[in-house]
């Protein structure tokens, strides 16, 4: 089963246009339906974050389109018991394409497939809502091969929180905040993936080293400006980032970029954290990336 027809129920016109544009880029046909009672043959309905009384509205949508997949568009929280799944915002087209295929497969299984064929278990990290590396790695390998074959730049970043003593119980809040900072900093062509329990991997096609450093610094700034209440204490978390880039004409593989980014991350943490280190292919070492004066200001 392939999902083709979609509708967006979002009262805010600007947000409706943004969601509709993202769905169209992902290959969906977006209908003109903007209210539950206007739904018809849509196979997928996105309920926008501005909708009032989402639970009530979700019931109306299910009455009008009982077989449609209902997604709740959210920028934080990543939980919506009234929907079939959450559509993380800002919307990533590449991420959405993979999710659409997974949702379609899951729906086909629910409609008659065997329980053994279901792929829904362990696909998404419950805290960040990023795809787990074990599920997404083939996509990442293909992207690296495409970059080498067609000669466009590609970069990879590995992010982790700097150590904070005695805060294991707030790990989910920390990772959820990092996920939000990442989504607000990436383009819709980038891939955020939960690489391990405490590391997030970003793959950025068509991005050179300079562009990746800007993105990494922006995420660092967003995290460092945040705070988290833990009992009587107010925590000010920071992250370290290791960056590596694949240049056109240079032979490299996905494992090479990961190793180089890991080296940069290790160096960043060893030098005090809250910084970005990048791998320099000409010197074969990780170097600190100073804050460029041309970085755009970070929005609150």
Q: Is 187 exposed, middle or buried (0-12, 13-18, 19+ CB in 10 A)?
A: middle
CATH, range 131-288: 3.30.70.270
pTM above 0.85, yes or no: no
Statement: 5-117 belongs to CATH 3.40.50.2300 = yes
Question: Identical fold at 5-117 and 131-288?
Answer: no
What whole-number distance in Å separates Cα of residue 51 and Cα of residue 164?
38
pLDDT, position 285:
53
What 3 state SS string does 166-233 have? CCHHHHHHHHHHHHHHHHCCCCCCCEEEEEECCEEEEEEECCCHHHHHHHHHHHHHHHHCCCEEECCE
Asked whether the beta carbons of 260 and 280 are under 8 A apart, the reply is no
Tens of pLDDT, residue by residue, the chain (300 residues): 678 999 999 999 999 999 999 999 999 999 999 999 999 989 999 999 999 999 999 999 999 999 999 999 988 766 788 998 888 888 888 778 877 877 776 666 555 543 333 333 457 888 888 889 988 888 899 899 989 998 999 999 999 999 887 666 788 888 988 998 998 888 877 889 999 989 999 999 999 999 999 999 999 999 999 888 877 788 899 999 999 999 888 889 999 999 999 999 999 999 999 999 997 655 555 555 554 433 343 333
Asked whether the beta carbons of 222 and 185 are under 8 A apart, the reply is yes
Residue boundaries of the structural domains of the chain: 5-117, 131-288
What whole-number distance in Å separates Cα of residue 153 and Cα of residue 75?
29
Residue 164 gets which letter from DSSP?
A: -
Q: What are the helix (H) ranges across the chain?
A: 13-25, 54-64, 93-110, 133-150, 171-183, 209-224, 254-270
pLDDT, position 121:
46
pLDDT, position 117:
34
């Amino acid at each position: 089963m392939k999902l083709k027809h979609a509708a967006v129920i979002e009262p805010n016109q600007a947000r409706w246009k943004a969601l509709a544009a993202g769905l169209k880029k992902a290959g969906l046909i977006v209908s003109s339906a903007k209210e539950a009672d206007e739904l018809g043959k849509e196979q997928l309905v996105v309920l926008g974050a501005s909708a009032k009384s989402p639970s009530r509205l979700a019931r109306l949508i299910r009455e009008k389109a009982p077989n449609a997949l209902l997604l709740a568009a959210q920028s934080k929280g990543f939980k919506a018991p009234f929907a079939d799944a959450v559509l993380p915002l800002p919307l990533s087209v590449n991420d959405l394409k993979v999710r659409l295929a997974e949702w379609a497969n899951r729906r086909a299984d629910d409609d008659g497939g065997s329980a053994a064929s279901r792929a829904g278990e362990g696909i998404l990290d419950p805290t960040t809502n990023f795809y787990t590396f074990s599920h997404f790695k083939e996509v990442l390998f293909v992207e690296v091969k495409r970059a080498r074959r067609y000669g466009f730049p590609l970069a990879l970043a590995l992010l982790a929180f700097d150590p904070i003593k005695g805060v294991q119980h707030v790990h989910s809040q920390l990772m959820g905040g990092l996920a939000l900072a990442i989504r607000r900093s990436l383009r819709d062509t980038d891939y955020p993936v939960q690489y391990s329990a405490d590391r997030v991997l970003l793959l950025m096609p068509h991005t050179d080293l300079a562009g990746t450093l800007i993105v990494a610094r922006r995420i660092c700034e967003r995290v460092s400006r945040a705070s988290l209440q833990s009992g009587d204490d107010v925590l000010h978390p920071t992250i370290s980032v290791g960056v590596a880039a694949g240049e056109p004409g240079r032979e490299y593989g996905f494992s090479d970029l990961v190793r180089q980014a890991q080296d940069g991350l290790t160096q960043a943490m060893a030098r005090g954290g809250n910084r970005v280190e990048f791998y320099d292919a000409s010197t074969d070492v990780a170097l600190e990336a100073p804050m460029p004066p041309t970085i755009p200001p970070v929005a609150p």
